[in-house]
Amino acid sequence: MTEEYAASRYEDACALLPGRLRAAAMSISRRDKARTEELRLRIGRALYLTTPEGETALPQTRVIRGDLEQVLDRATEYSRYAAAGTMAHGYLTAPGGFRVGLCGTALPGGLGTNEGIRDVSSLAIRIPRVHEGAAEPVLPELVEGGRPVGTLILSPPGGGKTTLLRDLVRLLSQGSALCPPQRVALVDERGELAAVHRGRPQLEVGCHTDVMDGCPKHLAVPMLLRAMTPGIIALDEVALEEDAAAVRSAVGCGVTLLATVHAASLRDLESRPIGRDLLSSGGFRRAVIIEGRDRQRRVERLP
């Protein structure tokens, strides 16, 4: 991923901002644009830019409620009703694949559900960057006999798991000298992998990939097994007991699994019930561990 590309994605995200905030955000250096991962707006506070080192305030950018309303209008293309489903879960996907997280007053529904968010008080515009080629160095170790093997991707939060999984899906979907094109079913529960907007992925995930967007993993997996006959199912951030149960059901159907999980190491993963469930499921034969600030990747064989 070049600095020019990363900076251009930042500038595209700034198009969601009101004029005065956009002008301030665009005034920073190209290098700082390339390093910025999020734009954060909180009522009564400055506009903050999130980098790997933390949040930096832009001077003279006090955010008011009208600023948040304008961002929401632009992100939903002035049709908030169409985005109501994901907004009830605290996010929406804007054109270009930008995920906008929302915080405010939740509107509780029946049976412990949430019907929406009113009086939005803060927004986080996340800037996804497709890093094509990120998975190429590890791919040879994840293929045996021309077929991919079940793989877990581990790192602490923000370590690059989603970026690596997205590129791995792309490579396997399009095929390579290592293996022919694979039919991949991608469960994009939070809209971060493919960033589907009005039915079309905004981020490249391959021509043989079917995306189930905005659906919990434990519901999406059986639906995909019944309807799409995938060879591979890819899941981001397996964290709940029901997610692990969905993994076990897919293993029983002979599907290859790719999944990410928060963990600093295999020992860290083994110390948690969800980790032990995943490792004992029989669905994973490799683990890619992403380590350090430079996000070095190494592959380990699993028993």
Higher pLDDT, 282 or 52: 282
> Is residue 112 pLDDT above 80, yes or no?
no
CATH number for domain 3-126, candidates 1.10.150, 3.30.450, 3.30.1050, 1.20.1640: 3.30.450
How far, in Å, are 9, 94, 172, 264 from residue 127 at the CA level? 7, 11, 24, 24
Residue entry with tokens 């054109």 = 95
Summarised one tens digit per residue, pLDDT across range 19-33 is 999 999 999 999 999
Q: What tens digit of pLDDT does each residue of 265-301 get?
A: 999 999 999 999 999 999 999 999 998 777 889 999 9
CA torsion sign for 189, 192, 198, 199 is negative
Which tops the pLDDT comparison, 198 or 32?
Answer: 32
- Evaluate the CA torsion angle 157, 262, 168, 206 in order and state its sign: negative
Residues 126 and 94: their CA atoms lie apart, in Å, by 10
Structure tokens at 229: 């006959």
Q: Tell me: the pLDDT tens digits for 124-153?
A: 999 987 788 999 999 999 999 999 999 999
pLDDT in tens, 212-250: 998 999 999 999 999 999 999 999 999 999 999 999 999
Strands 232-235 and 209-213 turn out to be unpaired
HEC readout, the chain: CCHHHHHHHHHHHHCCCCHHHHHHHHCCCHHHHHHCCEEEEECCCCCEEEECCEEEECCCCCCCHHHHHHHHHHHCCCCHHHHHHHHCCCEEEECCCEEEEEEEEEEECHHHCEEEEEEEEEEEEECCCCCCCCCCCCHHHHEECCEECCEEEEECCCCCHHHHHHHHHHHHHHCCCCCCCCCEEEEECCCCCCCEECCEECCCCCCCEEEEECCCHHHHHHHHHHHCCCCEEEECCCCCHHHHHHHHHHHHCCCEEEEEEECCCHHHHHCCHHHHHHHHCCCCCEEEEEECCCCEEEEEECC
Rounded CA separation 75/87 (Å):
11
Which residues lie below 8 Å from residue 267, measured CB to CB, with a gap of 6+?
none
User: Where do the structural domains in the chain lie, given as residue ranges?
Assistant: 3-126, 139-301
179 touches 172 (CB < 8 A) = yes
Average pLDDT of every residue of the chain:
92
Of 186 and 191, more confident: 186
Q: What is the pLDDT of residue 158?
A: 79
| Mean pLDDT computed over 157-169 | 91
Task: Give the per-residue pLDDT at 1.
Answer: 61
Mode of pairing for the β-strands spanning 200-201 and 151-155: unpaired
The pLDDT value recorded for residue 129 is 76
Architecture of domain 139-301: 3-Layer(aba) Sandwich (3.40)
